[in-house]
Structure 1
């Protein structure tokens, strides 16, 4: 059991050192985090599994084109989710997306996850949709209308207005409901 306590303490220190969004400020060298954030409470995923987020081999441009075609057919907006597997805040966001209370709002979007590497991949694609990832950090979301118009871009709305640097399910749900 002591090994678990040390491991959780190391993860807690990593989260404490992470800025409001990954990729900003100094801090420790990022590590890849796979799966839900270890400090988050257990969750219940809906039956439809989410694809693995931030696949570095995925063709983001073609996935966006396909999502926009589906959006034009059914009228649902498209969400572009820019992030990376090493980013603790991105892992937390993926965990929140799987929560039973959040999932119905997320399911109202066509979602495309875009791996940005060490914030050195897909920067032109991010700029095309109004993001400067070197300024905002990750995770960063863009919501497109079914016609492809940018409705919102960034990550400011994901964090509570009280200045808390923590992603919360209720704030993420409010964001999803606002832009659906």
Structure 2
């Protein structure tokens, strides 16, 4: 019986020491939406939810304004799905994809709200919003990064909160 006591005693501290490691780990990555844009989604509610989550965890919000028929948007989606890019997105951003390819005047109004410089927009329009709700960068003004893993990853790292 004596040898089993130290064995059970040593198992218990091992379990105890594993718990703090889990709680001190980084928060769960944010969910990354799949490819494409949901024309039936309530983009305003999605943005509000992302901003609430960003306030809670300090991440930024990445607004991706695009269209399902947009070739550049599809290219960006392919990069977003790559493991390294998905890791950066999940760790640093709440991604909201907003369909501006249809007839949604509400989504077009959201684009003008977050990217007010107007004119003709080149999709995708990527807007980084801080956890406090301030626009940090807008690719309609700055131009899109190269729609490659290197280009998008550099953009994401630069603007992460």
Q: Compute the TM-score of the two structures, normalised by the length of structure 1.
A: 0.64
Aligned counterpart for 2:145 among listed residues 159, 167, 174: 159
Relative to its length, the structure with more helix (as a share) is 2
Structure 1: which 5+ runs fail to align?
A: 1-47, 161-166
Q: CA deviation at 1:158?
A: 3.1
Aligned counterpart for 1:117 among listed residues 84, 96, 101: 101
Q: CA deviation at 1:136?
A: 2.6
CA distance in 2, matches of 1:89, 1:133: 20
Contact 2:33 2:95 in 1 (8 A): no
Q: CA deviation at 1:50?
A: 3.4
What residue number does 2:122 align with? 137
Per-residue CA deviations over 1:136-166 (Å, capped at 9, x if unaligned) read 3210111100011000112545334xxxxxx
Greater Rg over alpha carbons, structure: 2
Per-residue CA deviations over 1:5-55 (Å, capped at 9, x if unaligned) read xxxxxxxxxxxxxxxxxxxxxxxxxxxxxxxxxxxxxxxxxxx76334310
Aligned counterpart for 2:57 among listed residues 74, 81, 101: 74
Contact 1:105 1:176 in 2 (8 A): yes
Superposition pairs for residues 14-33 of structure 1, below 5 Å?
A: none
Aligned counterpart for 1:51 among listed residues 20, 34, 56: 34
Q: Compute the TM-score of the two structures, normalised by the length of structure 2.
A: 0.71
CA distance in 1, matches of 2:151, 2:46: 27
Contact 2:32 2:94 in 1 (8 A): no
Aligned residues: CA RMSD: 2.1
CA distance in 2, matches of 1:175, 1:157: 11
Matched, 1:96 2:79: yes
Q: Which runs of structure 1 show a deviation greater than 6 angstroms over 4 or more consecutive aligned residues? A: none
CA distance in 2, matches of 1:49, 1:79: 11
